Amino acid sequence: MKRVVVLSGAGISAESGLQTFRGTDGLWEGYRLEDVATPQAWAANPALVLDFYNQRRRAVRAAEPNAAHRALVELEQAYDVQIITQNVDDLHERAGSTSVLHLHGQIRQARSTRNASLITDLGDRDIQLGDHCPLGSQWRPHIVWFGEMVPAMEEAVEILADADVLLVIGTSLQVYPAASLAFEAPRRARRIAINPDAPREVQRADFEVVAATATIGVPEVVRTLLKAVANHDCTRCTH
Ligand code: APR
């Protein structure tokens, strides 16, 4: 089975009603990321940080996967689909994707501030000041903040090493090291970027650009990939 690797960003969840970070009415228009998404912010004002993530968690709970998330599930019929996402929402999982690697953490989880490997599912709960882990320390959002290591990078590079197709969906490719993954696929891989305003990084590189929103572009690309397998179209296969 050929492997399709997906690198997704906030744009794939935009049509589910979740704000992106950059561009008009993006999250970073309303907040300074230095105030809510860094270890320094956490040390200075944990209540503000917790409130920021509690609000986003409620928005994720109220959101539903969209046609783009669902199309990637359909693709699993004929491909080994590996999703690497910068998103902290769980819409890929709720759509039914079976292999999702979160580079920047998961908003539905919390982790101990005493032992980073102590992680818990929040379900529908928020995190408040005074909510302590079994070790007696404050729970924090299980999110990779700016300036923190991205532990999943090594695994992501390994996944990309066997990519036959790379789909880069709804990301501005402005945040490293995650953005570097868009250029990690082997030379033989077919590269497709789906974004109504594709970043220049992919415009320059050898990507096919589908200038469309995710709910239009992703189902369209999935149909093409499924057809290629159905017709066993060698011109598009990579042996
Ligand atoms: N369909 C597809 N793409 C869209 C849509 C849509 N409906 N709407 C917007 N986009 C595109 C924008 O053109 C932009 O390229 O999604 C991208 C969103 O970019 P960002 O807001 O920068 O989000 P992202 O690239 O995921 O940010 C990466 O930055 O703040 C950190 O940790 C945060 O994971 C995040 C990282």
**Which two three-digit tokens encode residue 146?**
């700016």
Q: From atom 5 of ligand 1, which residue's Cα is the shortest distance away?
A: 11
21: amino acid identity, one letter: F
b/e for 177-207, b at 16 or more Cβ within 10 A? ebbebbebbeeebbbbbbbeebbebbeeeeb
Tell me the residue range of the domain where 191 lies. 1-18+65-104+150-239
Mean pLDDT for all residues in the chain: 94
Name the CA radius of gyration of the chain, rounded. Answer: 18
**Which two three-digit tokens encode residue 33?**
């990321």
Query: Among 118, 120, 93, 92, which Cα is nearest to 108's?
Result: 120
Q: Are residues 117 and 176 in the same domain?
A: no
Pocket test for ligand 1, best of 104, 172, 203 (most atoms within 8 A of CB): 172
Pocket test for ligand 1, best of 8, 21, 84, 174 (most atoms within 8 A of CB): 21
Q: Are residues 124 and 56 in the same domain?
A: yes
Q: From atom 13 of ligand 1, which residue's Cα is the shortest distance away?
A: 197
Q: From atom 10 of ligand 1, which residue's Cα is the shortest distance away?
A: 11
Given a contact cutoff of 8 angstroms between Cβ atoms, the answer to whether 163 and 186 are in contact is yes
Pick the catalytic residue from 69, 92, 104, 142.
104
Dihedrals φ, ψ of 71, to 5°? Answer: -65, -35
Number of structural domains in the chain: 2
Catalytic residue at 104? yes
Q: Are residues 155 and 200 in the same domain?
A: yes
Q: Are residues 80 and 193 in the same domain?
A: yes
Tens digits of per-residue pLDDT, 189-211? Answer: 999 999 999 999 998 779 999 99
pLDDT at 30: 81
- Residue 35: which CATH number? 3.30.1600.10
Tens digits of per-residue pLDDT, 139-189? Answer: 999 999 999 999 999 999 999 999 999 999 999 999 999 999 999 999 999
